[in-house]
Structure 1
Amino acid sequence: MKRILALDFGTKRTGIAVTDELQIIASGLTTVNTKELIPFLKDYFEKEQVALVVVGEPKQMNNEASESEAAIQGFIKKFTIAFPEMPMHRVDERFTSKMAFQTMIDSGLSKKQRKNKALVDEISATIILQSYLYSK
């Protein structure tokens, strides 16, 4: 089977998570400077078979799109041009950053390690991917 890849898109950096080939386990892959995201994905798609890309959909508590949705829509347009055959699915990402931070606390990471925003983004992408896997 092909992997599923998830993105926690941010204007500065994007957290990336991926499943195993059986699409059972979600694991953090890396965090990439968002300006380098499309080239990173091109390289990754050449090396690994990916069935689907899941992108977090930030919403406010009233279910309206958050301010960052405009930037995500811009990325989605670029993604669709670069990878016209790659399916994409959106997943509500409310509270993923808070859940990622709590995961870091629960796993015993030091305060210094918890300040690593790139790690928070990677864990958030993993939570987004896990959420998708639970829903299907």
Structure 2
Amino acid sequence: MGRILAIDYGTKRTGIAVTDELKIIASGLTTVATTELMAFLKTYLAEEDVERIIVGEPKRHSNEASDSEKYIQVFLEALNKEFPDLPVERIDERFTSKMAFRTMIDSGLKKKQRQNKALIDEISATIILQSYLYNG
């Protein structure tokens, strides 16, 4: 059985989360520089059995696509070209960064740790994946 991988795509950093093989638990995997994302995915997907990828879909309050969607579309085209047989789904990621920050506060992280944007991206990817598992 394959895992599900979630991506919180950003122009600078991208958070990545993954499920266990039974697809029960979503866990933060890492945050990578977006310029290194495709190389990371090639290595990871060669080593792990991933059956689908979930990519966050940033929207405004008005339900319109956010400005970063144009960059995500370029990434999705490259992803589909590199891994044509791997299903990719989108999920609304509104408020995941705020939820990630709230999670950091609730778990008792100190202010300095909460300023770690890479950690926020990884937690955001985990929230995207949990949402997919819960609603999917």
TM-score exceeds 0.5: yes
Deviations 1:60-116 (A, max 9, x none): 011100000000001001111111111000000000000000000000000000000
Q: CA deviation at 1:38?
A: 0.6
- Identical positions, percent: 69
1:71 counterpart letter in structure 2: Y
Which segments of 5 or more consecutive residues in structure 1 lack a partner in the other structure?
Answer: none
TM-score with structure 1 setting the length: 0.99
Aligned to 1:9: 9
TM-score with structure 2 setting the length: 0.99
Distance 1:59 1:46 in 2: 32
Aligned to 1:47: 47
Distance 2:59 2:117 in 1: 20
Root-mean-square deviation (CA, aligned residues, Å) is 0.4
Distance 1:26 1:73 in 2: 24
- Structure 1 segments of 4 or more deviating over 3 A? none
Distance 1:118 1:13 in 2: 7
Deviations 1:34-79 (A, max 9, x none): 0110110010011100000000000001110000000000100111
Aligned to 1:27: 27
Deviations 1:8-27 (A, max 9, x none): 00000100000000000000
How many residues are matched? 136
Using the TM superposition, name which of 12-21 and 77-86 deviates more.
77-86
1:55 counterpart letter in structure 2: V
Distance 1:46 1:79 in 2: 14
Aligned pairs for 1:39-118 (under 5 A) are 39-118=39-118
Distance 1:9 1:79 in 2: 12
